[in-house]
Amino acid sequence: MRSATLIGLLGGSFDPFHNGHLALAKAAVGAFSFDKLLLMPVGLPPHKSRRLSFSTFRVETARLATENLPRVWVSEREILTPGRNYTVDTIEKLLKEYPGIKIKLISGSDFLFTAEEWYRYEEIMSLVSFAIALRGNADKEASQRQADYMRREYKAEIDFFPMQPSNVSATQIREMLSAGTSAAEYLPEKVDNLLNTYRPYSYTKVIDSIDEDSWQKLNAYERRLFSYLGRERRLHTVSTCLLALELAAVHNVPALAAGTAALLHDLAKELPDAELDAYSGKYLGRAEGSPALRHGPAAAYLAREQFAISSEDVLNAIQYHTTGRPGMSSLEKIIFLADKIEYGRPFKDLDLIRRLAFAEGPAACDKELSLDRALCLCYEEVFAALDRSGHEICPLSKDAYNILK
């Protein structure tokens, strides 16, 4: 009778989590008596490769795809671990935190032929057993010979399990979504809906244009958001960031400044009221009169004190992202707009504001004028919404609008 807790571990970039990943997880759960199967999206892969999408979308697609699978959990462990993620480190930490567990590493048969390329692979083989999926088109004889070699050479414990063949490719899905083509046949329905709403793969070109140092900084900031914000707020935040990066490219604003301000603009949104009051007061040097506006200066305070952000322009964009103000910089305008018109927003009539913000159409010859027209129209929509809900309009917003119109 088995006494130790058996944990299945299935890691990957999951960019995005698709039907092939789901089939692998289902087959593994059906083949082994796991107490728990951990899906482990990588934060920063050990080897430099293409740029992964922000962790928020990769985690969320995995969660949505498997939320009804028993004993399957999506772990944010590697997302929350600073620096690059090595499988052996994750395994060692799990074994230390949960003494007595047994871990079975789940993979396709290709792992057998690349295992010796992994970081500290001999230690991995001594710490875990392996569950290797044989797809219908896999070379079973070659896989079995390689498994026998690993058993002899490293005393590796290897079990095979069957799964249906799959021709799903994450690369193909990304290319389809980047081109605006539906990939619904390759994705679980809820994943397809999420990606159609937020459109993260439509930003591939602008992300690829960002220099490596800036991208790594933005990636690190985004991973830290998991400690501050729940999934709904993170989805909004990362969607705001992607839109801000694209607007920054149009309006000649540094990508790092736009991405940083967007990622940190709601940093304080989910803090208890007492902390909001304290951080807002420290940043402003006085109490914020409107409770609804405290999270802006509180987020600027956290950005400065906990993220070491020193740029006055970035801090102003964070502080005033809700209201705007007279004399906004281009960065402040972009963050104000991106927060209101990112694709996850359910508001109506945003298409015209977006076109103006991107200086599309007749106004393309004067990008600054087009951006200001987008701001004016956005303010008018915000004012109408506040009026319908019986809330007062912030004087800063009124003054900014009167100057712009």
| pLDDT per position as a tens digit, 10-50 | 999 999 999 999 999 999 999 999 999 999 999 988 876 67
List the single range of 82-91, 147-156, 282-291, 326-335 with lowest mean pLDDT. Answer: 282-291
Where does 77-120 have alpha helices with state H? 77-80, 87-97, 111-114
Q: How confident is the model at residue 390, as a pLDDT?
A: 86
The contacts of residue 352 (CB under 8 Å, 6+ apart) are 377
Confidence of residue 1 (pLDDT cuts 50, 70, 90): very low
Position 324 pLDDT exceeds 50 = yes
- The answer to whether 79 and 220 are in contact (CB under 8 A) is no
Domain topology for 209-404: Hypothetical protein af1432 (1.10.3210)
Assess contact for 281 and 288: CB atoms under 8 A.
yes
Give the bridge partners for 105, in sequence order: 9, 130
**Domain coordinates of the chain in residue numbers?**
6-173, 209-404
DSSP string, 195-213: HHHH-GGGGHHHHHTS-HH
Q: 6-173: CATH homologous superfamily? A: HUPs (3.40.50.620)
Q: Mean pLDDT of all residues in the chain?
A: 94
